[in-house]
Amino acid sequence: MGKKLYSFIIGTGCHIPEIVVKNSDFQNHVFYELNGNRIDRTPEEITRKFEEITGIKERRYASDDLLTSDISYFAAKTAIETAMIDKESLDYIICAHNFGDIRPNNRRTELVPNLAARVKYKLQIKNPKTVAYDLPFGCPGWLQGLIHADCFIKTGLAKRVLVIGAEILSRVCDPHDRDSMIYADGAGAAILEGRDTGTEVGIISHSTRSDTYKHCHLLTMGRSNNPDYPGDELFLKMHGHTLYKYALKVVPECIKESIDKAGLSIEDIDRVLLHQANEKMDVEILKRLFRLYGIKNPSPEFISHILPMSISWLGNSSVATIPTLLDLILKNKMEKYSLPEHDIIIFASVGAGMNVNSIVYKF
């Protein structure tokens, strides 16, 4: 009988930009609805309600001298150093993102060469067998990269895979759209290695779905909400209320499917690392997951225990939120949280597509 390989995380890294943008920094903005009507509330009222709903108090923006490929490189370099491996031993570099490199003075997407190739170049990896490719999959892109890596490892096509999630969303934010206050910049990375441990560790199961028939355009690109905006840039646009309802229904189902595939129950799960998109939404997703198992009204203390959150100070950095959160916990930078050996956790995300995925992982 052949070896049964499991995909295990051996190193992580992240890059958290230095520029801190607080909610108060938006109080000189004039906000409009998607239909172009000016919102008849003061910026102070808008930002106060925004913080109440999302839990976001501040976010991080990349400095003008950095591109997404740069912060991807920073996170990747740290992951390699943490794993203590030879960078030339990597079989794949997968870079999950949505907008490529965007320069602050020329907001056009740069995708040639792809970001993974740019990162490989910055790492000065000479090995031509280190295959570098990009994965645009909305906010769940980093998790989908882990799923790709797991498939490569379990089929013998790879031993080590570097998966990066990075985004500079501040350069696709409409200054007249209150939803843009959600978005942030950042990068996170992890290295997966195939291990024959004789017992289940690493990625145990996963589940993914794409609901394009009715929900393809809940996140899309469009002109500024301000009808008099002078530029012709396209900004990230979100149908927030519909997306919220979709996530509450579909994400718990996808998570349960991955738990069922692993032959486990909710009682076996020690932590849930959700995409940090909206604090209120993430808490409600967790509550609805428990309801699928017949557990009603888990206490706020229990939710806080099982659901680490970084959104209050890092905002929503899309594909970077989960790998950044993971790196912070593993390096003891998240108070009250750790991931000891034998812990079983859930990674789950939802985003443009609409795409949803979930991974069951055992340390």
For the record, the structure tokens of 256 come out as 């349960």
Q: Do 100 and 115 touch, CB atoms closer than 8 A?
A: yes
354 to each of 17, 210, 321, how far by Cα in Å? Answer: 28, 6, 18
Q: Where in the chain is the domain with CATH 3.40.47.10?
A: 6-195, 204-362
> What single string gives the DSSP state of each residue in 165-233?
EEEEGGGG--TT-GGGGGB-EEEEEEEEEEE--SS--EEEEEEEEE-HHHHTTSEEEE--SSTT-----
Radius of gyration of the chain (CA): 20
Q: What distance lies between CA 87 and its chain's CA centroid?
A: 24
Q: Do 57 and 92 touch, CB atoms closer than 8 A?
A: no
Strands 131-135 and 92-96, bridge-based pairing: parallel
Report DSSP state, residue 6.
Answer: E
Q: Do 8 and 1 touch, CB atoms closer than 8 A?
A: no
Rounded CA-CA distance 133/163 in Å is: 10
Mean pLDDT split into 10-residue runs, the chain, 363 residues? 82 97 92 91 90 94 97 98 98 97 90 97 98 97 98 95 98 94 97 89 96 94 93 90 94 97 95 94 95 91 93 96 98 92 96 96 96
Q: Do 8 and 202 touch, CB atoms closer than 8 A?
A: yes
pTM of this structure: 0.94
Considering the domain delimited by 204-362, tell me its CATH architecture.
3-Layer(aba) Sandwich (3.40)
Sign of CA dihedral 135, 137, 142, 148: negative
- Residue 26 phi/psi, 5° resolution? -95, 0
Q: Which of 137, 131, 144, 229 is nearest to 180 (CA)?
A: 229
> What single string gives the DSSP state of each residue in 301-345?
HHHHHH----HHHH-B-GGGHHHHHHHHHHTT-STT----TT-EE
Q: Which of 17, 62, 14 is nearest to 329 (CA)?
A: 14
Is 6-195 in CATH node 1.10.800.10?
no
pLDDT value at residue 2: 57
Q: Which residues pair with 193 in a beta bridge?
A: 8, 160
Vertex 171 angle, CA 168 and 173, to 5°: 110
First to last CA, the chain: 25
Q: Which of 139, 129, 138, 164 is nearest to 149 (CA)?
A: 164
Alpha carbons within 13 A on the beta-carbon side of 51: 15
Exposure string of 315-350, with b = 16+ CB inside 10 Å and e = fewer, is bbbbbbbbbbbbbbbbeeebeebebeeeebbbbbbb
